[in-house]
Amino acid sequence: MVTLSVDVMGGDHGPSVTLPACQAFLQAHPDAQLLLFGLPGAADGWSHPRATWHDAQSMVTMDDPVEVALRRKKGSSMRLAIEAVRDGHADVAVSSGNTGALMAIARYVLKTLPGIDRPAIAGHMPNAKGQSTTMLDMGANVDCSPEHLLQFALMGTALVSAIKDLPSPTVGLLNIGEEDIKGNDIIKKSGEMLKQAAHEGLINFYGNVEGNDIFKGTTDLVVCDGFVGNVALKASEGLAAMVGHFLRESFSRNWLTKAIAVLAMPVLKEFKFMVDHRRHNGAALLGLNGLVFKSHGSADAVAFEVALNRAYDASRHGLLAQVQSRLSSAADLIDAFTQTSDTPVPLAP
């Protein structure tokens, strides 16, 4: 059995979304069981033979500062779900709660893996191939050194291998051009490190990629710092919202636009399906000594079930062990570059 611990109270909608998603997930996965953490009474009237309810003392709100979530809400549903992973009661934790709080609590409770300076958020972006491009970091680390980007490439490779069953996923380094001379000193140094890692058989490095390559699906994985990754994520979400708005507005105008909308509707609906972020929900917090997945805060039941599915697949395919193995294999390479690097990198506290 694969055991997931779920923060039932997380996100914008809480139990009204998480519990129906859990019900659908359990029906689709007879080899899974859930540990549910929430406020007393939050699941009244809901039950499942493979789900166990655990009362929490509090919940982390979307507006809670990290300090409050970490220090003052030690009995929150979010923290208890993560502690279940630490204590070996669950294989992976899932929450749609406050991202900053989730990362802080997960890092405090689970600690980081040896050789990891900073955990990263690995999300999934829709691409023109009808699939998704995995990206990291998506917002956890604004400033990154070349060593961090190499760590991201290693962890991301393990993630894509685990959840997409790709033995050697391609890795692209996000840059302002494909040429090696493009980019700042950090990106150029990162390119050198990724090339060396590819030469040693640690990753399958494609080379530099540009922003449009994310949506083309040029590579299976794109590595970047958290500032750029989060901007790309929000831009993609904005595009999906714009398409939805256009579909709604097309039928509220004059007869000509309505007629055109009717003719174009099959294509537009297919495009909307391709860019629908619900299909790509569920970001992995990589670099921790345990598995944690983050669902979008505004996720509906369909999207939250997708996040549960990703967490289930990651655990079933041994994601944590794969990450540990790749980091261990690259330890000497990372140390060598760290000792010889003279590039000043601004690091966030």
> 255 in a domain, yes or no?
yes
- Rounded CA gap, 186 and 178, in Å? 15
Region 52-63: mean pLDDT is: 96
AA identity, residue 136:
L
Fill in the DSSP letter of residue 112: B
Pairing of strands 92-95, 291-294: parallel
pLDDT, residue 162, reads 87
Q: Is residue 46 part of a domain?
A: no
Q: What CATH number should be reported for the domain holding residue 246? A: 3.40.718.10
Residue 135 corresponds to which tokens in the numbers above? 């990206």
Overall number of domains in the chain: 1
User: For residue 72, is it within any domain?
Assistant: no
Q: Which residue has the higher pLDDT, 269 or 230?
A: 230
Q: Is residue 68 in a domain?
A: no
Helix (H, G, I), strand (E, B) or coil at 273: helix
Report if residue 204 sits inside a domain: yes
Residue 287 lies in a domain: no
Which uninterrupted H or E stretch holds 125?
strand 120-126
In our burial notation (b when 16+ CB lie closer than 10 A, e otherwise), range 130-146 reads: eebbbbbbbbbbeebbb
pLDDT, mean of residues 152-166? 91
Q: What is the dihedral of CA 79, 81, 84, 85, to 10 degrees?
A: -100
The pTM is what?
0.86
Q: Which of 135-144, 232-241, 290-299 has the lowest mean pLDDT?
A: 232-241
Contact 50, 22 (CB under 8 A): no
Tokens of 75: 């009995």
Average pLDDT (47-60) is 96
281's torsion region: left (phi>0), alpha (psi -120 to 50) or beta?
A: beta
% of the chain residues with pLDDT over 70: 85
Q: Give the domain range for residue 154.
A: 121-279+318-342
Residue-wise pLDDT for 117-146, tens only, equals 889 999 988 888 888 899 999 988 888 999
Residue 267 lies in a domain: yes
* Distance (Å, whole) CA 128 – CA 77: 38
CB count within 10 Å of CB 207 equals 18
**pLDDT at res. 270:** 62
Q: What is the CA radius of gyration of the chain?
A: 21
In a domain, 15, yes or no: no
Q: Over 90: is that where the pLDDT of 303 sits? A: yes
- Identify the band that residue 346 occupies on the pLDDT scale cut at 50, 70 and 90: very low
**What is the distance between the alpha carbons of residues 18 and 68, in angstroms, rounded to a whole number?**
23
At residue 220, does pLDDT exceed 90?
yes
pLDDT-derived band of residue 339, with 50, 70 and 90 as boundaries? Answer: low
Provide CB contacts within 8 A for 145, sequence distance 6+: 186, 341, 343, 345, 347
